[in-house]
Structure 1
């Protein structure tokens, strides 16, 4: 079983853009959502899709199970989404031995930019780039699950800046 260990931050400046090494267009939706678990479907660049189950209450570490599925199946599952389908562009930005994923949201969450870094253990201490703002690790409001299922109608419910 895989573990997802990550920290999450709001993004304060565009200093990351020049260092981005790749970008992908993501659409994702939740087909099941509970306090301690979720089932998500994601389409990447319209070409591949994954079904992901996450289980756990920890603010930094959760069990994660991911499976490739046909894009057509993912698109059909999205029609049964709880809440909204999240639209975002994900950029990969290397920084001092870690790779940050910077998500620039579109749709109802346009203006929100979140960076996260995956780690091998909770004791890892990734150097923090200067373009990061406030840490939001463990703040459920900034989870994709909450953005899709709870905060989709009031774009002012979340601070979008650091």
Structure 2
């Protein structure tokens, strides 16, 4: 199937990733639909807007359908206003490490204090080297999905 996203997700145990980051970007995102079978997300990343549809995760939580398209900033801003209750805000740090790129999200607002890293893979069994700042794996743990953080923020855990 085309448009498959394969990724693993980890907690982050130190701020060492910041020194190694190649970029950092502010992200604001909301959800038009948080049904696990068809999540619909609106995102403003820097000065660009995106609309994303994600399907249900497989049993391990590593793989699911993902389709994304860029939309203009005005459309994205208008759609954010239609989103479900909590709008997520975070800083995303892109951190190259060995042969992979880790995206580290430092959450703000009601999810402040939560820092999660994701690495996209070519296949589920792909081997990759883990940087020292990477903590416990949380792949497939639903409470760490952005769609769930918009319903039950980290501050309420």
Q: Secondary structure in 1 aligned to 2:44?
A: strand
- Given that 2:48 and 2:72 are in contact with CA atoms closer than 8 Å, whether structure 1 keeps it comes out as yes
Residue 56 of structure 1 corresponds to: 56
- Deviation digits for residues 45-98 of structure 1 (CA, Å, limit 9, x no counterpart): 1x1111000012310001111111111111111111112110000000011100
User: What residue ranges of structure 1 are gaps of 5+ in the alignment?
Assistant: 158-162
Is the counterpart of residue 99 in structure 1 residue 101 in structure 2? yes
> Shift in Å at residue 15 of structure 1?
1.6
> For residues 128-148 of structure 1, what are the alpha-carbon distances to aligned partners after superposition, in whole Å with 9 as ceiling and x for unaligned?
111111110000100111001
Cα displacement string for residues 96-149 of structure 1 (whole angstroms, at most 9, x for unaligned residues) = 10000000111111111000000111011111111111110000100111001x
Question: Does 2:14 correspond to 1:18?
Answer: no
When normalised by structure 1's length, the TM-score is 0.91
SS at 1:82's partner residue? coil
Name the structure 2 match of 1:160.
none
Runs of 4+ aligned structure 1 residues displaced above 4 Å come to none
Superposition RMSD on alpha carbons, in Å? 1.1
Aligned residues: 154
- Corresponding residue SS for 1:83: coil
Rounded Cα–Cα distance in structure 1 between residues aligned with 2:138 and 2:85:
22
Q: Which runs of 5+ in 2 are unaligned?
A: none
With the length of structure 2 as denominator, give the TM-score of the two structures.
Answer: 0.94
- Aligned twin of 1:88: 90
CA contact (8 A) 2:7 2:121 kept: yes
